Structure 1
Amino acid sequence: MNRLAEQVQADAEAAAPAAAQVAGRAVLLIPHRSDATDEAALPGDYRRILAIVREADGPVQVRAVGERLGLNASVRGKLEPLRAKMTKLANRGWLHKRPDGRFTAHR
């Protein structure tokens, strides 16, 4: 029984986003997308971004995602952290960043 509980805990920890220390702050690491990696491994805000991009009919701009998230899209500085998150998702294989700067979801 004890070994089963340990295995369940180990599996839960493996699925949870890993944390790292950067300049003394805890930072979540975004895992690379693979067939074995589930979206649940991503933090909530990254999952919301993925859901918005997937719901779109085609490629989306950062501004459109920001508007759906309730950000003030008229202020460019408000969109830069979102752009960084979307780029991070693209670098890890969760999204595809097109040459025109718009994003699509990997299906």
Structure 2
Amino acid sequence: MLPPDRQRILAAVRQAAGPVMARDVGELVGVDVSVRAKREPLRSKLVGPVDRGWMRKLPDGRFTPRP
């Protein structure tokens, strides 16, 4: 079972109309993304589901759910 913050992140990516950047996900889940240092932990939380095969990371850095 995923921790609640990672569940919200995964749900935000799934509900998005298309591929999203980490900044977009942060805005959807209420994370301050105005400073790069605050986006990096979010980006690392996005990589976990990619490693597990639940999401894909596109070459341009955007994230999308697996079909």
Q: Same fold (TM over 0.5)?
A: yes
Q: Where does residue 38 of structure 2 map in the other structure?
A: 78
Which structure carries more helix by proportion? 2
How far apart, in 2, do the equivalents of 1:50 and 1:88 lie? Answer: 10
How far apart, in 2, do the equivalents of 1:72 and 1:102 lie? Answer: 18
Unaligned regions of 5+ residues in structure 1, if any? 1-40
Q: Which residue identity is paired with 2:61?
A: G
Query: RMSD of aligned C-alpha atoms?
Result: 0.9
Q: TM-score, normalising length from structure 1?
A: 0.60
How far apart, in 1, do the equivalents of 2:26 and 2:55 lie? Answer: 16
Q: Where does residue 55 of structure 2 map in the other structure?
A: 95
Q: Where does residue 44 of structure 1 map in the other structure?
A: 4
Which structure carries more strand by proportion? 1
How many residues are aligned here? 67
- Give a deviation string over 1:58-77, Cα, whole Å, max 9, x none: 00000001111212211011
Q: TM-score, normalising length from structure 2?
A: 0.92
Aligned-pair identity (%): 55
Q: Which has the higher contact order (CA 8 A, sep 6+)?
A: 2
Unaligned regions of 5+ residues in structure 2, if any? none
